[in-house]
Structure 1
Amino acid sequence: MKNPWICISLALLHSSLYASEYEYMTWRADTGVQIYGKPPQCIDIPEDLRLCFNVGYDKMMLPNLLEHETIAEVKQQAGSWVPLVHKACHPGTQLLLCSLFAPVCLEKPLYPCRWLCEAVRDSCAPIMEAYGFPWPEMLTCDKFPQDDVLPCIAMNETTSNSMAKPADHPPVCPPCDNEMNTDVILEHMCASEFAIKTKIKEVKIENLDRKLILQKKRKPLKLVTLKKQDLKKLVLYLKNGADCPCQQLDNLGKNFLIMGRFVGKQYILTSIHKWDKSSKEFNKTLKKLKSHKCATHETVFK
């Protein structure tokens, strides 16, 4: 079933594009002008491109609209965005990202509409800030066309409104709001620099953040840039977490699976789960955690 969010006319969709001999003329979002580039190919969206598989169409253009020339590069860069989609900060997040990472095959490229980018940015930028990252330059909304100037990918307003969540209670701190699901946890691990098993000794409020003082015993499960000697003096920060709820921090007597990364001059908490050996899903996650191979170490929400 095709995704009803994509507002593209049938007249555009019937012109799927395959590799050809001519040079490809495209509209560059950052300049608003047409340029000549590498002839594109139209390929199947692979199942392991988790960000965009089942997005609502089956084939994508390569090079994509972010100038990734190989599917390996697309997978590598797109993987770090999957955790943001899981946060469900806006119903159009996946559509916006996939319109760039895995653009639909057409004679001319179709960029996301500026208003769609702005709507997703306004909803999701606070989530990204919780991980220590600003809204990225690659998603500067002014780069994208107005829908009254050029055809662009949008989203039905009725769909957007019907999927919006009512804000009748304070949102859970994003690193604390992760379901106990193996795939979700592994995706967060791949977007983090380290994963450890430890207890939390104390939680302090520091400016707008929560400062997590860890117990001395810290078992590393994954270390990328963090060295073992750095692990001994590790202090974590829950960015902008002074006021948002984090159920995991209500009882510090338990072990936790903690993930994080170095941003600026601080180690930022990216995910926290209770170490629950009674959970079948958690045990399944632990088994996969040891052998799971990430495509590469990437910046979260690059």
Structure 2
Amino acid sequence: MVALLLPPPALLAALGGLLASWAPPPAAGASCEPVRIPLCKSLPWNMTKMPNHLHHSTQANAILAMEQFEGLLGIHCSADLLFFLCAMYAPICTIDFQHEPIKPCKSVCERARAGCEPVLVKYGHAWPESLACEELPVYDRGVCISPEAIVTAEGSERCKCKPIKATQKTYLRNNYNYVIRAKVKEVKTKCHDVTAVVEVKEILKSSLVNIPRDTVNLYTNSGCLCPPLNANEEYIIMGYEDEERSRLLLVEGSIAEKWKDRLGKKVKVRQSFMTCLIMFDLSLQRDPAFGITHQHTGKTSRTNEVLLLSDPKSHTIPF
């Protein structure tokens, strides 16, 4: 007769606990891997995980898919676009979140869409359904990633603004929707979006969004204020607009320079001169080099817009 040697009850219980908590090792390709997508190598993470949020199984596939956004990235329609795209195509991978890649926060997607969707619409395209913002997690109610949540050794270098010199060439090329003289009352941050509150002193150019001679908000659609503004300082500000939301935008590519009294006088002289010139030479309105048609809206400004043209021999607006 064979006797069965059974382990004591305590050992059985321990073995049962180990078996219950055991999980098979992750399949090949399920762990973190170095980021190899060229566009995303400048981002503050260097490890990703495939498949990504768009179901690309390899980074090679993701690279091909991201090529469609190179044009948008080239015109800098949103400071958050590259971060958002890389968070979708090359999601950050950490030891604690290897099972499922971390998604970008909803606010990051909304800022990128708000800045770039008007450009897509102008050329007959819509914001891709695969990049819809509605299903992404909210920052304070789920696990997600945003530029503000990443602390790097550079500290505030992420918000270092690239200066843009106010020249005639820049003004005509960028085709700003509005130009105002305004005093900055405050700069506030809400839900990681920076907004500048300004008191409009003078409207030098306006387009489709009504600008009151009052306190207005300039929306950045970003966690950074570029160009930078200081409270209680007076500036001449050139920027764009969000016609659908009736908002004035101060986004990358906008200009803000401290106001000088002599600037206002010269601008007013140019206003009457250019109004007569536009009425005399209607062909000027069809010349894209003079930017009569708005870059962001595709519509024409009111005819009393101020064109800040300098002297023919000068390439700098007389600031």
Same fold (TM over 0.5): no
TM, length-normalised to structure 2:
0.41
Which structure has the larger Rg over C-alpha atoms?
2
Higher strand residue share: 1
